[in-house]
Amino acid sequence: MKRRGEKIVVVTAYDAPTARIEAEAGVDIILVGDSVGVNVLGYAHEREVTLADMAHHIAAVRRGAPDIYIIGDLPYATYDTSQQAIESSRLLREAGANCVKFEGAQPEIMRALTAAGFDVCAHLGLESQHHDVKRRQGKTAQAAAKLYDDALALDAAGQNFVVLELVPQELAARITQAIGAPTIGIGAGAATDGQVLVVNDLAGITAREFKHNRRYGAVGAALREAVEAYARDVRAGVFPAEAHAFHMADDERSAFER
């Protein structure tokens, strides 16, 4: 797709019904990100997400979308050594991931994983596991040059994809031209080979607004209105209606009431 100039559509999912809807909508790749922690599990930080959490949610997404290509995040501190990265990746693959993603400029980890037969996605720019403040990266010429060199080193180590998060469009464009692997941008401008968004953000479930995001729906508001309407109807005695009730057959009822 990169060679043909076709944009790659990536979106996160954390559960089976959302994955099924996304596959039916025709996305190319589903990312089961460690953003599951903050978006679904109620954790304060991505660092709290465990391998067991990731395997649980990857398996759910796989059940909902049996044929989709799934990238799964390796959680914080599960790829500190090559051996640990390989063992962690095996767990995510057994859960249903086609590809594993890890954050940071670690070409040796990349080389070990690709040599072990894994598809691997790198992740540069904002690294939520390693950066405490979610601010944009690569702003200075020096920081941009470092990110550029990191992307080239990961590419030489065999990466299959690289996510570029919250980096200047100019830098993302240069990296996209310079490397063989497709770049998947989030807050990285329009020049990347593909885009990824968090489904809760694009569907309007997340309360916060982000500069990098566009809200394509109001799913949070729709859910709130549905639950409020249900509560009103129950309290007013108008739900359930006659049509929602089940009845005994006449002979069973007369026997029962005797």
Distances in Å between the alpha carbon of 14 and those of 20, 51, 118? 11, 14, 21
Say which residue the tokens 């070409």 belong to: 107
Spatial separation of the C-alpha atoms in residues 187 and 178, rounded to whole Å: 19
132 is in an annotated binding site: no
**Nearest 5°: phi and psi at 130?**
-115, -15
194 is a contact residue toward ligand KIV (CB under 6 A): no
Asked if residues 137 and 143 have their Cβ atoms less than 8 Å apart, the reply is yes
Of the candidates 19, 85, 171, 186, which one interacts with ligand KIV according to CB under 6 A? Answer: 186
193 is a contact residue toward ligand KIV (CB under 6 A): no
Q: Which of 165, 170, 225, 228 is catalytic?
A: 165
Q: Is 165 a catalytic residue?
A: yes
How many residues interact with ligand KIV (rule CB under 6 A)?
Answer: 11
C-alpha dihedral over 187, 190, 194, 196, to 10 degrees? 30
101 is in an annotated binding site: yes
168/252 with CB nearer ligand KIV = 168
Spatial separation of the C-alpha atoms in residues 215 and 197, rounded to whole Å: 10
92/186 with CB nearer ligand KIV = 186
Of the candidates 196, 199, 202, 203, which one interacts with ligand KIV according to CB under 6 A? Answer: 196
35 is a contact residue toward ligand KIV (CB under 6 A): yes
Question: Which chain residues interact with ligand KIV by CB under 6 A?
Answer: 12, 31, 33-35, 73, 163, 165, 186, 196, 198
Which residues are catalytic, by number?
Answer: 165
